[in-house]
Amino acid sequence: MGQESSVLVAIRSRSPMPAVGYREEMDLSVADAFVIPESELGWSFSTSGAPGGQHANRNATRAELSWDLAASDAVGEELRARLTTALGTRVRDGVVSITVGESRSQWRNRQLARRRLAELLEGALHERRRRLPTRPSRSATDARIKDKRRRGADKRLRKPPEIE
């Protein structure tokens, strides 16, 4: 009996789907920069427009994940300002929202929403390098001017001859 139960546990643990009554409570780690506590993440669910027939019409599988960036204790003031600037229109009234309804499974949509929020915030954390202004080389400038003169000469040749 002891061997059967250990095999059964091993089979269950390999399943990609959670057990019935399973409630995932995990903090969301963002690029080793900060961690958003699960308590700061807000979820709402609605029926999805994704494929699934009657299942999609009757079950709330679309997941919307919201995180109140303005009121979050997970980030400092400097990081909050940087994220707000980088995210731009993705932040509405201080709240970042991600909506996912691609899968028939609410659990899968929740996982996708968590991953996309983390990726979005990671991208916003990445500092853009300032472009260093450069000048074209002298040979490149000379080649450009020479080419302009050649094209101008070609166009002049297209004109009918002037009669004096």
On whether residue 12 sits in a domain, the answer given is no
Number of domains in the chain: 1
Digitized pLDDT (tens) for each residue of the chain, 164 residues in all:
444 433 334 334 444 544 444 455 588 888 888 889 989 999 999 987 766 677 767 888 899 999 999 998 888 999 899 999 999 999 999 999 999 988 888 899 999 999 999 999 999 888 888 999 999 999 999 999 999 999 999 999 999 888 87
The structure tokens 């643990």 sit at 13
Q: Is the pTM of this model over 0.85?
A: no
Contacts 24+ apart (CB under 8 A), 13-22: 17/105, 17/107, 18/107
% of the chain residues with pLDDT over 90 = 42
Domain that holds residue 119: 22-127
Q: In the prediction, which pLDDT does 110 show? A: 92
On whether residue 73 sits in a domain, the answer given is yes
Q: What confidence tens digit (pLDDT) does each residue in 71-97 have? A: 988 889 998 999 999 999 999 999 999
The CATH number of the domain holding residue 118 is 3.30.160.20
Q: What confidence tens digit (pLDDT) does each residue in 24-33 have? A: 558 888 888 8
Token pair for 83: 């994220």
Contacts 24+ apart (CB under 8 A), 114-120: 114/28, 114/41, 114/65, 117/28, 117/65, 117/67, 118/28, 118/29, 118/30, 118/31, 120/87, 120/90, 120/96
Q: In the prediction, which pLDDT does 162 show? A: 83
